[in-house]
Amino acid sequence: MKPNTPIVYTFSQGLEKLRRYCAYQERAQVEVRQRAYELGLREDEIEQALTQLIIEDFVNEERFARAYSRGKFRIKQWGKIKIKLGLKSKQLSDTCVRMGLSEIDEDEYLKVLHEIVEKKGKLYAISRGFERDLVNACT
């Protein structure tokens, strides 16, 4: 076999790999679909596998949006604008995006914003995805 030849998995093998992929961390449907393509599954198999993963609760876009928002805010200290763009890039619905952003505590958000402005400056805070009006309100 050539070194760059992709391995093509059977449906059951691919489904099991996708289960492990989803169990490792929360995934959006678009990420699971891409991984299924990489595993060599056909289009009809991908849709069938995705349906099965949703039924088994391995894939849940609301849960993904909430986990993504919490992680990007707490670990990377992203603002809501940048988080929203990240969620949209995962092709999530507006409802899921709103649910994800609702995970961010407003008091904690403002506290982090003030710390960033104090340490790094207003331009840095804006580049991290914080709202310009909130950044300008910081003194």
Give me Rg for the CA atoms of the chain.
Answer: 19
The predicted model scores a pTM of 0.89
Torsion of CA 93, 94, 95, 96, to 10 degrees: 60
CA dist list (Å): 94 to 9, 55, 117: 34, 22, 29
For residue 132, pLDDT over 80 is answered with yes
Residue pLDDT, tens place only, 35-44: 999 999 999 9
4 pLDDT above the threshold of 90: no
Whose tokens are 């909430």? That residue is 66
pLDDT above 90: percentage of residues in the chain: 91
| pLDDT per position as a tens digit, 6-25 | 677 889 999 999 999 999 99
CB 36 within 8 A of CB 14: yes
Q: Count CA within 13 A, CB hemisphere, residue 71.
A: 10
Q: Locate tokens 């991908």: which residue?
A: 46
Helical ranges in the chain per DSSP H: 11-24, 29-38, 43-55, 61-74, 80-89, 94-101, 106-120, 122-127, 132-137
- Amino acid in position 49: A
Residue 1 is predicted with a pLDDT of 46
Q: How far apart are the first and last CA of the chain?
A: 63
Q: Give me the mean pLDDT over the 101-130 stretch.
A: 96
